[in-house]
Structure 1
Amino acid sequence: MNLLMLYRGPLASCNYDCPYCPFAKRRDTPAQLREDRAALSRFVEWVVANPHGDTLSVLFTPWGEGLTRSWYRQALVRLSHLPHVERVAIQTNLAGRLAWTADADPERLALWATYHPGQTSRDRFLTACATLRRHGIRHSVGMVGLPEHHAEAVTMRDALPAQTYLWINAADGHVYSADEEARWTAVDPLFGYSVRPHASAGHECWAGETAISVNGDGLVRRCHFLPEAIGNLYDDTFRTALTARACPAASCDCHIGYVHLKRLGLHQVFAGGIAERIPAGPPPAWGAPGPHVRSAAAARTAPR
């Protein structure tokens, strides 16, 4: 089996104070950090043991910033050298030092990076991206599509190499006019998938079949957005629950969820880069119609 595992431990602290994030500038206590470190260690040992002989991919999706913690950096390096791990990735703001990436296998390590204007300078963020390129580390770059950040997004798109995908997440609570959507789509040809929720009730999803969400205690759910547990990683009870089934939620509005909705075909769009949010093949000319733009347009007009 090829299994994608989204892991989220107790860590909830972040060094940024983005106004749209509930974990801004939150600090974990020493006890909470020890708990997170122990939980991550247990998870890593399970992946190393690979009791079912699967091909695994791992995406760390911490509530806070993981790369400021040594145990996440060590876990990424260690897992990147395992032959049965196809990809290991983490969502990060790239605020920490990146020299450690030189110790990882660049064929397996990838970073899902987010640029937050006002929290770091553009030059500093671009320097971090250049470091990743120097070490051969696959990475995507993303921003939240706030109106006040559009000009910065255009500048960032121009500053990044053409082969680096810059994704835009629709801002929570913001309704985009047709003109606004077109402007953001000129930056990210796949913005059409993010701009509004996707109807999911009754539709089959790879989540719970070939992708799972794992908590620090080993509790396994189909995805981060469905509370029902389907078993536990460490007693193998999750294994028999891996099967195709329809989603019970009315809608799905987060990329790590709707990327698995079978009807959207995004496993093909992101083939080989689902964990790190990198589309397959070279991106289309930014701002010009291309196959991914047409896919996004189809998603906008499809029944929801």
Structure 2
Amino acid sequence: MDLTILYRGPLASCDYDCPYCPFAKRRDSREALRADRAALERFTAWAREQSGDRLSVLFTPWGEGLTRSWYRRALTELSRLPHIERVAIQTNLSCRTDWTAEADRDTLALWCTYHPGQTPRDRFLAKCRELAARRVRHSVGIVGLPGHLDQARRLRAELPEQVYLWVNAAEGHTYTDAEAADWTALDPLFGYSRHPHRSAGLPCRTGASVISVDGDGTVRRCHFVRTELGNLYDGSYRAALRPRACPLAVCDCHIGYVHLESLPLYDVFAGGVLERIPATLTHRSLRPTPP
């Protein structure tokens, strides 16, 4: 079985205090950190034993995972397993990068977000250069707030052309056509993020070949649909895997709508769906169909 897993444990602490994030500068207690570590180690052990399946894993913590040794260790270990096709994580890239030397760089990937005001751009770019020198697959992105536009332009100018710069539409922000054009000049795929996607009744890969797993092993089709499909560790989820339509009116998050079969994003990001890396630079000529 080929299965993509979106894992989100109880970790909710972050070293940044972005005003648009509800988990900014939140501190987990020692007990919460121990629980998160135990949950991740349990998941890693489970994944290690699934040698009869082909797994791809994206870690989507509410907080920043790579500042924690157990996330770096899990990514390294999973990357070196032959039945793991891809293992990736969303990160603000505030951690060091030398740990990646122990990982299989053909399997490991990072989804990196630059947060202006939280770290100097030069420091962030230095981390990106380190990743490139270490041959670590990575994408780089930014939240499309008006105050971020100049920083985004500078970021695009200073990143290697082969590094994809994505832009996430800011939650609750409405873009004029002129504003959208500015962001589209940086990320030709911004149109997919600009508006929520109508999804009710449309086929989606979540619940069939893609699942969401929390720290207790509860399996759901995705992070945004709360209906439980079973538990990862007792195997009860397997009987529930099947094609199904989306029950929600809209889907407005990339880690959700990328799996909608009504969108061409599996082709656009072929080979890089989890880390948000387009298949080729020909994506620059692609323009989404207006919703």
Q: TM-score range by the shorter chain?
A: over 0.9
Moved over 2 A (4+): 282-285
What value does the CA root-mean-square deviation take over the aligned residues?
0.9
2 CA distance for matches of 1:11 and 1:80? 21
Counterpart of 1:12 in structure 2 is 12
User: Is the CA contact 1:163–1:283 (under 8 Å) kept in the aligned structure 2?
Assistant: no
Under a length normalisation based on structure 2, what TM-score does the superposition of the two structures give? Answer: 0.99
Aligned to 1:98: 97
Q: Given residue 279 of structure 1, which amino acid in structure 2 is its aligned partner?
A: P
**1:127-206 maps to which residues of 2 (within 5 A)?**
127-206=126-205
Paired residues, number: 291
Q: How many Å apart are 1:284 and its aligned residue?
A: 4.7
Give the 3-state SS of the residue equivalent to 2:236 in structure 1: coil
Output the CA distance in 1 between the equivalents of 2:283 and 2:54: 30
Q: Residue 116 of structure 1 aligns with which residue? A: 115
What secondary structure is seen at the aligned counterpart in 2 of 1:167?
strand
Question: 1: CA distance between counterparts of 2:53 and 2:281?
Answer: 29
Q: In the superposition, relative to structure 1, how do residues 190 and 242 fare at CA in structure 2: closer, same or farther (>3 Å)?
A: same
Determine the C-alpha separation between the residues in 1 that align with 2:241 and 2:62: 25
* C-alpha distance in structure 2 between counterparts of 1:283 and 1:27, whole Å: 42
**How many Å apart are 1:54 and its aligned residue?**
1.1
Tell me the secondary structure at the aligned position of residue 37 of structure 1.
Answer: helix
Question: Within 1, Cα distance between the matches of 2:280 and 2:181?
Answer: 23
Q: Match of 2:97, as an amino acid?
A: L
Q: Tell me the alpha carbon deviations over residues 121-175 of structure 1, each in whole angstroms, 9 at most, x when there is no partner.
A: 0100000001111110000001000011111111101110011000000001110
Which secondary structure does the structure 2 equivalent of 1:264 belong to? coil
Alignment check: 8 A CA contact 2:268 2:283 kept: no
Structure 1 counterpart of 2:61, one-letter code: P
Query: What residue identity is the alignment partner of 1:23?
Result: F
Task: Read off the aligned partner of 1:208 and give its amino acid letter.
Answer: G
* Cα shift at 1:94: 0.3
Offset, 1:118: 0.2
Unaligned 5+ segments in structure 2 are none
Which one-letter code corresponds to 1:160 in the other structure?
Answer: L
- 1:66: which partner in 2? 65
Distance, in Å, in 2 between the alignment partners of 1:27 and 1:46 is: 28
Output the amino acid matched with 1:260: H
Q: Distance in 2 between matches of 1:44 and 1:170?
A: 33
**Secondary structure in 2 aligned to 1:117?**
coil
Change (3 A) 1:27 1:283: farther
Shift of residue 282, structure 1, vs aligned partner: 2.5
Quote the Cα distance in structure 2 between the aligned partners of 1:270 and 1:2: 17
CA shift, 1:240, in A, is 1.2
Identify the residue that residue 37 of structure 2 maps to in structure 1: 37
In 1, the alpha carbon distance for the partners of 2:282 and 2:68 equals 33
Gaps of at least 5 residues in structure 1 are none
